[in-house]
Amino acid sequence: MLKKCIGDPSLILPTASIKIKDNLSYEEVPIQILDRQVCRLRTKDVASVKVLWRNQFVEKATWEAEEDMKKKYPHLFESGGNAD
C-alpha cells in the first residue's frame, strides 16, 4: 500500500547555484575545516579532519583523512586557523 508523502520545501535547493551537469551530477567542493582529531592505533596515528562541503549543512559534515585532503585541497590548510 502506498502512503502519502508530504515534501519539505526547506530541503529544496536551487539548481542554478549548484551547477548541475548534463548527466545530473555535480562536484562537491570543501568550504571549511571544522575540526581535527587523531586516532591512535597500535602502531600509528591517523589524523582526520571534519570537512564542511558546499551545498551541505553542518550536520552532514564528514570526517576525511587529513593527508588526502591536504593533497587535494591545500588552500584549506594555508590559513593556519585550525592548527593545533
| Domain extents in the chain | 28-84
Per-residue model confidence (pLDDT) at position 64: 94
What's the rounded mean pLDDT across residues 16-36?
82
Q: Phi/psi zone of residue 39: left (φ > 0), alpha (ψ -120 to 50 degrees), beta?
A: beta
Q: What is the pLDDT of residues 9-18, one digit of tens each?
A: 887 777 676 6
28-84 in CATH: which number? 2.40.50.40
User: Rounded CA gap, 7 and 41, in Å?
Assistant: 44
CB distance 27 to 73 below 8 Å: no
